[in-house]
Amino acid sequence: MRDTPLVQSHGQRIACDDGVVDLVWVGDVLAIALAGGAVQLVGAGSEMSVAPHRRAILCACVHPDGCSVVTGGDDGFVRRVALDGAVSDLGCFDQKWVHALTSSAESGVLVAAVGRDAMIWPRGSAAPSHTFGFGSTIGGLSLDAKGKRLAVSHYNGATVLYPLVAASGRVRLERGGSHLACTISPDCGYLITALQETGLHGWKLPAKMQLSMSGYPAKTRSFSWSHRGRWLATSGSVNAVIWPFTGKTGPMEKEPLVMGGRADAIVTQVAFHPTGEHLALGHSDGAVSLVRIDDGAAVPIDAPALSITALQWSKDGHKLAYGDEGGRVGILDMTVRA
Amino acid sequence: MSRIPVTVLTGYLGAGKTTLLNRILTEDHGRRYAVIVNEFGEIGIDNDLIVDTDEEVFEMNNGCICCTVRGDLIRIIEGLMRRRGKFDAIIIETTGLADPAPVIQTFFVDEHVRARASLDAVVTVVDAKHILARLDDSHEAEEQIAFADVILLNKTDLVTSTELETVRRHIRAINAQARIHETQRCAARIEDVLERGAFDLDRVLEIEPNLLGEDDHEHDQNITSVSLSSEREIDPKRFMPWLRELTAKQGRDILRLKGIIAFPDEPKRFVVQGVHMLLEGDVQRDWRHDQPRISRLVFIGRNLDRTALQQSFDACIALP
């Protein structure tokens, strides 16, 4: 074990005034979405702060154009922040909370969860073109790798549809209870939801065969698929719980890999390296680490502080950014040689 | 991290909830409240900290048959915590027809919410003029009284003193432990209503057991209170299994329970609370020196058999 956190020799730390809600890489620039409504843009040698929201930011994602950030707030606004700091409106939903966002560069779609509605922006659109309504508030959104199919979790199950088709048919997946975050596998072969009671529920698509994964002490809030969708890493336990998605039946009747645990802390965020089989972990005690899937070897990246709320690799996998409840942000640079 | 106190505001339509909320939000008391409401329009105040929501109830998949929870509250409280430091407490307004149980149960079952917020009190506004008719035609009105820690008996200027006395008696028969404040136009002191903390649990100690005999009900009341007490200390090894079994079997009928219990060789008071089948208990502060170590337990619910409850509670007395 090293005494000094790796981030000190191989990266940088940034102190923000508010808790970190989300982190978004736009090329080499890191956008830090903060609980107070501001977005901090950190590039090579430059730093800028803008305030797209009057109140808390609840979610953020990269814009489908690949060169700006989208934020959703509890002020009812969806806004686009360009790298020069220019802010423009994408939608205003009269005091409703915008609580989830997802986008796809491939299909150009942008989706926002606003109460019980999923708002859809087709490529290049500055306002939503259509809406899909659900019977209860949306728990989570997930697009497949091509951005063609959208999974929406809600009470009593989840729905899969084609977001760009306004009259899209819906595949309904039923299971009682409240379904929170969800994730669709890159090939759209599986949909997994996180349950309010803790644990995961899943469906193999298109057959709707159901699977259930339990044993989590806390709610799963973070999912990450490995390169090519072989593994699904999940938060909500002392260790990262990593389910195999190989073969015809995926994780059914298989044991997950468990690794990277820390005593007295829960894994809160997981993020697979975009090309390698390394998994970055954020913990509830504020520590950040990197584990190798092959053998479980772990490298500590940063020391404990407050609970980690966001963890993102840059698209090229050269940089790992993380942020915590107290506004501490770190960027690990994998290209630095010690 | 200190937990944010949460007040749940209930009351039948027209009882005066909105009047009370408007008072809380406009009076100069130096406290900042985040308010979760169902109808934006009703509140005439522009406040960044008012959140609109739908009452979304779902059933937990935890094998507990009556465990319904408000998913919207879980999400909103998580979201509000991002604005920590901008407010001191949270008020949740429920619609007049809502069953308060899912709101209260949310604070028992969700670990994330429990870690950040604690239920301070259920405050029920009661319209003195119309409550007797409401008790006859709606079970929600009765449940709202049953779940209350604090009752604002409002519009007392619209009834005669005899009518008021009848209303008081009915409320007491349903809920023997709530504090009742009589008001006109909801003009209560804010400190009587909000952020009362452990203060209200002490109320349990003040209730005279068996004050209300079964025969006191001239009305065919569904919900009643039963108050048990013991001057002898209680054996935790008997008490906890008994209470767990009782709530597992009769949880549907037990709306609320509260108790302060003296265990042998334990200088601190054991405080227990429950809603339907959910229980939570903990040793809290010391018994005061001038306070007799009398254990008390109050049940509010349907089909409560006072004699059987007292007998089985007595069976938990620690043997010398």
CATH code for the domain defined by B213-314: 3.30.1220.10
Q: Cα-flanking dihedrals φ and ψ of residue A307, to 5°?
A: -50, 135
pLDDT at A289: 96
Kindly determine whether residue B61 and residue A137, on different chains, have CB atoms separated by under 8 Å: no
Query: By the 8 A CB rule, do B167 and B138 touch?
Result: no
SS3 assignment for A232-298: EEECCCCCEEEEECCCCCCCCCCCCEEECCCCCCCEEEEEECCCCCEEEEEECCCCEEEEECCCCCE
CATH class of B4-197: alpha beta
Query: pLDDT digits over B254-305, tens only?
Result: 999 999 999 999 999 999 999 999 998 989 889 888 888 999 999 999 999 9
The closest alpha carbon to B296, from B180, B211, B197, B214, belongs to: B211
Query: pLDDT digits over A16-55, tens only?
Result: 999 999 999 999 999 999 999 999 999 978 899 999 999 8
Nearest to A137 among B75, B82, B112 (CB): B75
Answer yes or no: is pLDDT of A207 > 90. Answer: no
Tokens, residue B80 = 């509000």
Tokens, residue A228 = 């090519």
Alpha helices in B184-223 (DSSP H): 190-193, 199-206
ipTM score of the complex?
0.88
Mean pLDDT taken over chain A? 95
Note which residues in 3-42 of chain B have CB less than 8 A from chain A.
40
The closest alpha carbon to A120, from A107, A106, A130, belongs to: A130
DSSP B166: H
Answer yes or no: is pLDDT of B213 > 60. Answer: no
- Chain B residues with beta carbon closer than 8 angstroms to that of A177: 58-61
Distance CA B205, CA B202 (A): 5
pTM of the shown model = 0.90
pLDDT at B215: 45
Say if strands A257-259 and A267-272 run parallel, antiparallel, or are unpaired.
unpaired
> pLDDT category, B82, cuts 50, 70, 90?
confident
Query: pLDDT digits over A86-133, tens only?
Result: 999 999 998 789 999 999 999 999 999 999 999 999 999 999 999 999
pLDDT at B214: 47
Query: pLDDT digits over A286-326, tens only?
Result: 999 999 999 999 999 999 999 999 999 999 999 999 999 99
B120: left (phi over 0), alpha (psi -120 to 50) or beta: alpha
Q: Which domains does chain A have, with CATH numbers?
A: 216-329 (2.130.10.10)
Which residue type occupies B70?
R
Answer yes or no: is pLDDT of B203 > 90. Answer: no
Answer yes or no: is pLDDT of A277 > 90. Answer: no
Tokens, residue B63 = 């094998």
DSSP A92: E
| Residue A119, CA distances (Å) to A88, A144, A176 in order | 17, 17, 25
pLDDT at B218: 44
> pLDDT category, B219, cuts 50, 70, 90?
very low
Please state the rounded mean pLDDT for residues B152-167: 96
Instruction: Find out whether the peptide bond into A128 is cis, omega within 30 degrees of 0.
Output: no
Which residue type occupies B65?
I
Kindly determine whether residue A97 and residue B79, on different chains, have CB atoms separated by under 8 Å: yes
- What residue ranges do the domains of chain B occupy? 4-197, 213-314
pLDDT at B25: 87
Query: pLDDT digits over B42-74, tens only?
Result: 666 667 788 888 788 888 876 666 788 999 999
The answer for residues whose C-beta is within 8 angstroms of residue B264's C-beta and 6 or more apart is: B233, B235, B318
Quick one: what percent of chain B has pLDDT higher than 70?
Answer: 90
pLDDT at B196: 82
pLDDT at B170: 93
Identify the residue among B58, B76, B77, B87 best suited for mutation to test binding to A, counting A beta carbons within 10 A and taking the highest. B58
Query: By the 8 A CB rule, do A324 and A311 touch?
Result: no
